[in-house]
Amino acid sequence: MSLTGLGFTKTALTKMVKMVQQGKLSAEAAGEASKKLNLKSRELKFLGEGGESVATLVTDPTHGLAVQKYKNPQISIRQYARKNVIARRLNKSNSFAKYYGRNKNSFVTKHEYIKGEFSKLDKGFPDKLNLEASNYIKDVKISDIGGPNVINNKVIDYHANFIGGKNSWDAPKHLTDNSARIEAEASKRFPNYDKWQSNPFKGKKYYKEQDRQLKVRRNRIKFMASAPKGSQ
């Protein structure tokens, strides 16, 4: 499934993207072409959706391929800002996929694309990872690092919680002032999403409502991903 054409990226469905989606061209080849020709990013395919973000695979003129993540409305501005700061500091570690940065004037970030198999982790892996992470950032516990969040022994996604100490990176002011206004506006435009919870009924009515709410969430993500200039 691709999100190209759904409004997540304001670019046309180019011939190269069509070839990748049809299996006639590898994503890696498309990425190399983008680097050599310095082409602007194109969305290739949908990677996944979680509580914090929606992820797609994109071409990138600098890195060839990258994972592009769109902030999910379920995560607060403070969590979003904090995780970006933590990710930037963890770039010094070889155990985490690299954080490439945040697209200007948007709720969109880019990250290193790691291809391969999910890693089989020993029981002590979380403790070893947190010990290493503590060399780069203090008073933070990294969690949710099992299963599909580790590929080729590199962590591609995680949760990060403060465990005490002085919290000096929680929601930098330049990120929160206008970003909070944007999120409030998104909630105003799509008010039913926050009120809707799992319904007890099943059948066609249940799945119809589920699909509708998924559309609402995607609309809110798209709205915040294309935040107006000067918003952050």
Of residues 69 and 16, the one with the higher pLDDT is 69
Residue 181 covered by a domain: yes
Is 232's pLDDT higher than 50? no
Question: Which of 96, 64, 95 shows the shortest CA–CA distance to 83?
Answer: 96
Q: Do 83 and 163 share a structural domain? A: yes
Question: Which of 54, 51, 42 shows the shortest CA–CA distance to 18?
Answer: 42
Is 92's pLDDT higher than 60? yes
Would you state the pLDDT for residue 28? 94
Would you state the pLDDT for residue 99? 96
Q: Do 179 and 135 share a structural domain? A: no
Q: What is the mean pLDDT of residues 177-186?
A: 73
Q: Which domain holds residue 135?
A: 76-95+117-169
Residue 186 covered by a domain: yes
46, 75, 104 - which closes a domain: 75
Is 169's pLDDT higher than 60? no
Output the CA–CA distances (angstroms, integers) from residue 1 to 5, 20, 89, 98, 131, in the order listed. 11, 12, 32, 25, 38
Q: Do 82 and 45 share a structural domain? A: no
Counting the structural domains of the chain, the total is 3
Residue 12 covered by a domain: yes
Q: How many whole angstroms separate alpha carbon 87 and alpha carbon 39?
A: 26
pTM here is 0.77
Residue 110 covered by a domain: no
Q: What is the mean pLDDT of residues 35-47?
A: 88
Is 14's pLDDT higher than 80? no
Q: How many whole angstroms separate alpha carbon 154 and alpha carbon 140?
A: 19
Q: Tokens 């607060």 map to which residue?
A: 76
Q: Do 209 and 125 share a structural domain? A: no
Q: How many whole angstroms separate alpha carbon 178 and alpha carbon 194?
A: 21
169, 186, 209 - which closes a domain: 169
Q: Do 181 and 126 share a structural domain? A: no
Output the CA–CA distances (angstroms, integers) from residue 48 to 131, 187, 194, in the order listed. 29, 23, 21
Residue 9 covered by a domain: yes
Q: Do 149 and 137 share a structural domain? A: yes
Q: Do 30 and 91 share a structural domain? A: no
Print burial letters for 109-118: b (CB count within 10 Å at least 16), e (below 16): bbbbbbeeee
Q: What is the mean pLDDT of residues 118-142?
A: 88
For 53-81, the pLDDT digits (tens) are 889 899 999 999 999 998 887 777 777 88
Q: Do 148 and 177 share a structural domain? A: no
Q: Do 47 and 130 share a structural domain? A: no
Residue 231 covered by a domain: no
Greatest mean pLDDT range, 60-64, 172-176, 212-216? 60-64
Question: Which of 73, 70, 49 shows the shortest CA–CA distance to 189?
Answer: 73
Q: Do 69 and 15 share a structural domain? A: yes
Q: Do 9 and 89 share a structural domain? A: no
Residue 232 covered by a domain: no
Q: Do 165 and 80 share a structural domain? A: yes
Backbone angles phi, psi at 41, to 5 degrees: -60, 140
Residue 197 covered by a domain: yes
